[in-house]
Copies of this chain bind each other. A is one copy, B any other.
Amino acid sequence: MLPEPPYLAVIFSSVRTTEDDPGYEATAARMEELASREEGYLGLESYRSSDRSGVTISYWKDEASIAKWKANLEHLVAQKLGREKWYASWSIRVARVERSYASE
């Protein structure tokens, strides 16, 4: 069920400015859909707390697939809105998954 390492994880941690922005939810859903269509996409998990902080981890085959997704035109617009409007603060870590284990 898990991809076979090595592959890459992009850990996007953020604090939203407000919870009351319907445009945010729609864009987040659209970005998930778009990302999942990119070559090299291996999965995504996303969570947010009631205190506005949250994390989205997306998994990718290699650096090329991350670079292509980062440069996606609709994604660029969303990134700009995120920086200017939706996020009070954010961080991105790019990490190489070296091993994994799972239940079952």
Residues of chain A having any CB pair with chain B under 8 Å: 1-2, 5, 9, 11, 13, 45, 47-49, 53-55, 57, 83, 87, 89-104
Measured CB to CB, the closest approach of chain B to A30, in angstroms, equals 20
Contacts of A89 in B (CB 8 A): 102-104
Copies of the protein in its oligomer: 2
Of listed A49, A95, A104, residue having the most chain B CB within 10 A: A95
Instruction: Name 15 extra pairs, CB < 8 A, besides A1-B91, A45-B53.
Output: A2-B91, A9-B11, A9-B93, A9-B95, A11-B11, A11-B57, A45-B55, A89-B102, A90-B102, A92-B100, A93-B100, A94-B99, A94-B100, A95-B95, A95-B96
